[in-house]
Amino acid sequence: MTELGRLYGLGIGPGDPELLTLKAHRILTSVPVIAYPTLENGKVLARAIVADFIRPDQIEIPMPLPFSVERSSQPYYDIAAENLAKHLSAGQDVAVLCEGEPMLYGSFMYLFQRLAGRFPTEVVPGISSTMASAAMLGVPITFHDDVLSIVPATLDAVTLRDRLAGVDAAVIIKLGRHFAKVRTILDELGLLDRALYIERATQPNHGLLPLPKSIQQTFPTGL
């Protein structure tokens, strides 16, 4: 009987290929099969981050996903999981590339839910963009007994204001087209002077600026 392959959820960090861990690099360069999400809008950041490490003899499995991760994306994960299961059943180890940290807002969790009960599975933690952003900004996030809140800007305005009121420290993610809403709320809460903006942290085309100056700027992407 063939031994089952091992499924890896491989955290590959926020964008700089040097922010892969030694472990992620070892696994990435030794597995026969590499899988990664591809979005309908053509974005394939995960593969681009590690492009220089992938060899021609490794099998690549692009996994098409809808741009918006809503309920309707579940059939896509069903298909992707079955595709990976074929390789795992045949004894091939499979590494799924995960931008940032797999367990934090990552699409790998949907594959994990479908496959971890059937195949040996290991999650390799990665550098989250929330942490890399603080490093690039040169701003300590939390001291002593500060509470850190990681808050998606996709929340409705009332909930978002509630979650940001009285925080010690917050990292607001998934900004995208929610920038104006977030800026208004931070202004109302008197937090605007403490806010800093960074986009595409650790990628070559990253940008930083203090938030108060940014109202006249254009922000093509969120964190």
Residues in touch with a second copy (CB under 8 A) = 9, 11, 13, 16-23, 25-26, 69, 101-106, 109, 112-113, 116, 121, 123-128, 131-132, 134-136, 138-152, 154-155, 163, 174
- Nearer CB in complex with a second copy: 61/141: 141
CB 92 to a second copy: min, Å: 21
CB 18 to a second copy: min, Å: 4
- Nearer CB in complex with a second copy: 47/163: 163
Distant-in-sequence, close-in-space partners of 166: CB < 8 Å, separation ≥ 6: none
Strand 207-210 versus strand 196-199 pairing type:
antiparallel
- Nearer CB in complex with a second copy: 25/47: 25
Provide the Cα torsion 98, 80, 74, 25; round to 10°: -10
CB 16 to a second copy: min, Å: 7
State the burial class of residue 140 (Cβ atoms within 10 Å of its Cβ: 0-12, 13-18, 19+): exposed
Strand 121-124 versus strand 207-210 pairing type:
unpaired
CB 101 to a second copy: min, Å: 5
Q: Distance (Å, rounded) from C-alpha 76 to C-alpha 65?
A: 6
- Nearer CB in complex with a second copy: 6/23: 23
